Structure formats: C-alpha cells, structure tokens
C-alpha cells in the first residue's frame, strides 16, 4: 500500500474516532459516510470504493459504540416499510379489481340473456362473442 493511501486510511480512522466521540471539527458531526469523508478530508467516493472496509467498520462502530442504527440504514428501513405498505395496498386493489371484473362479466351475461329473451333471438354458440348492435 502506498504512502498516500496509508495516510488517507489513518485520516479516516482519526475522523471516525472524532465523530464517535462527538468532537467533529470539519463536518456536521452526523454519523454518516458523508460526514466521515468531510471530517477526514477525503472524497466520499474514496470511502465507497477504495476504503469499503473502513466504511463498514465505521457503521459497525456506530452500532456497537453508540447503540444507534446508522442513518443510511434507518432511511433504507423506512423506505422498505413504505414500499411493503404500497405493495400490500396494490395487491388488495388488484384483488378488488379482479372481483369487479368478474361481477361485471356476470352482469353483462345476465343482461345479454335478458335482451336475447325479449327479442326472441336464439342463443349464440359458446365460441362466438357477438358485438352489440348500435342503435341510431
């Protein structure tokens, strides 16, 4: 590992210690990767690509030392909960629409039978779907 990368890693670890101690100097002090990158003076993508292990270590330390769920995980959990509710609502709506289609199909069949009975037309074979005639 080259000197620059080693220096970056040590700055990130020092920034972790400051954030977890509540002594942020250059960031807003939140326990996020963005704040960690700002506190360490590195680009956020450096944490997400080159130093993934340090990012994971940071979140693990947030969990164990502060007994908090990291902000990104909390937001993801909230999003998952919202999406699960949306899916449940959509499933219920789809089921209601399927039942409505069945009821409308049955109503259409009954009305067609009533109309055929009034006009005296013979019933249509099962494999033919008649189109309604338009009346001027």
Q: Which residues contact 43 (CB under 8 A, 6 or more apart)?
A: 37
In degrees and rounded to multiples of 5, residue 59 shows phi and psi of: -65, -35
Residues 111-131 have pLDDT tens digits of 888 777 776 665 556 777 767
Are 44 and 37 in contact by the 8 Å Cβ rule? The answer is yes
Residues 20-69 have pLDDT tens digits of 888 888 888 888 888 999 989 998 888 888 888 998 898 888 888 877 77
pTM listed for this prediction? 0.52
- What is the predicted pLDDT for the residue at 123? 59
Q: What is the 3-state secondary structure (H, E, C) of the chain?
A: CCHHHHHHHHHHHHHHHHHHHCCCCCCCCCCCHHHHHHHHCCCHHHHHHHCHHHHHHHHHHHHHHHCCCCHHHHHHHHHHHHHHHHHHHHHHHHHHHHHHHHHHHHHHHHHHHHHHHHHCCCCCCCCCCCCCCCCC
Residues 77-106 have pLDDT tens digits of 899 999 999 999 999 999 999 999 999 999
- What is the predicted pLDDT for the residue at 25? 84
- What is the predicted pLDDT for the residue at 105? 92
């Amino acid at each position: 590992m080259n000197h620059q990368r080693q220096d970056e890693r040590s700055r990130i670890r020092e920034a972790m210690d400051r954030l977890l101690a509540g002594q942020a100097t250059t960031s807003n002090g939140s326990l996020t990767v963005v704040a960690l990158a700002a506190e360490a003076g590195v680009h956020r993508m450096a944490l997400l690509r080159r130093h993934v292990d340090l990012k994971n270590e940071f979140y693990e330390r947030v969990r164990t030392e502060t007994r908090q769920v990291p902000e990104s995980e909390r937001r993801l959990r909230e999003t998952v909960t919202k999406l699960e509710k949306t899916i449940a609502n959509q499933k219920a709506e789809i089921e209601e629409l399927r039942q409505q289609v069945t009821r409308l199909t049955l109503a259409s069949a009954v009305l067609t039978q009533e109309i055929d009975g009034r006009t005296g037309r013979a019933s249509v074979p099962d494999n033919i779907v008649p189109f309604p005639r338009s009346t001027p």
